[in-house]
Amino acid sequence: MQPLKVVSDNSTVYNSPNNKLDNSKMEIKPVNPDRALDQKLVEKAQKGDKQAFSLLVEKYQLKLYRLISRMVRDQSEIDDIVQDSFIKAYRAIGNFRGDSAFYTWLYRIGINTAKNHLVSLGKRPKAMDSNEIEEMENYESMSELRVSETPESTMMSNQIAATVNGAIQNLPDELREAISLREIDGLCYEEIAELMDCPIGTVRSRIFRARETIAEKLKPLIETTNKRW
């Protein structure tokens, strides 16, 4: 399975002396599959496919939520800001040309929406230096959630974590190893296939089966959560 490749992606760079194509010295940087997939979904959304945009919403709503939680603490306010940010992004998606990654563009919209929200409440948004903005745009570092947690939400989060960890322990070795390499070590399918000495299709199947097994254990808990929240 080859990750998505976008012809216009700037991450494909050809380096050769005298600026001529030379296959023996050509260096091709790997295409970022995350960015390529986003670009594909953006292009579909630009052509009117709202379902494609819904996948972008699903992919980034939690990351945007974490980003906004660094500026605003109230959960309902964060919900509103995240929703407004996505609506603004949708309205402006026709102007997105892919010069930056979609998430960078989206996060800038989110930060501006949060700032405007704070100004509308008469609060002064915290001034951020370029390092902080860069850190905020690097969504992989957005692991920490800074909202005022209730005892109930803390308990629910702990239960979810315990259920997932318990389910992982009971997974067959090859499934546990595949999902750990993917989620904890952040390896791509190709790298996992090399490490586990198996075809990429097998890696794909193992990761899927691991997720499905864990999700089955989570479902009763999620249903309880939905009733309670």
Partner 1 sequence: MNEKISSLFDSEINNIEVDTLLAKKNKMAGVRSSMSEYQMISDVLKKNTVLPKNNLTDKIMSAIDEEPTQMGGFIKANSSNTAVVSFEIWPVLGSLAVLVVIASTAFNIEVNSVSTSQFLAKEDIPKEIINAHHAATANNMNYFIQVGDSAK
Per the CB < 8 A criterion, the answer to whether 22 and 16 are in contact is yes
H helices present in the chain, as ranges: 33-46, 50-68, 75-92, 102-120, 130-137, 151-169, 173-183, 189-196, 200-228
Closer residue to partner 1 (CB): 45 or 136: 45
Question: What is the closest distance, in whole angstroms, from the C-beta atom of residue 172 to partner 1 in the complex?
Answer: 16
Question: What is the closest distance, in whole angstroms, from the C-beta atom of residue 105 to partner 1 in the complex?
Answer: 15
Closer residue to partner 1 (CB): 22 or 135: 135
The total of other beta-carbon atoms located within 10 Å of residue 214's CB is: 19
Question: What is the closest distance, in whole angstroms, from the C-beta atom of residue 165 to partner 1 in the complex?
Answer: 7
Closer residue to partner 1 (CB): 132 or 183: 183
Per the CB < 8 A criterion, the answer to whether 118 and 81 are in contact is no
Question: What is the closest distance, in whole angstroms, from the C-beta atom of residue 224 to partner 1 in the complex?
Answer: 10
Closer residue to partner 1 (CB): 18 or 226: 226
Closer residue to partner 1 (CB): 17 or 212: 212
Identify the three-state secondary structure at position 92. helix
Question: What is the closest distance, in whole angstroms, from the C-beta atom of residue 32 to partner 1 in the complex?
Answer: 9
What are the Cα distances from residue 36, in Å, to 32, 51, 78, 107, 127?
6, 17, 28, 18, 33
Per the CB < 8 A criterion, the answer to whether 64 and 111 are in contact is no
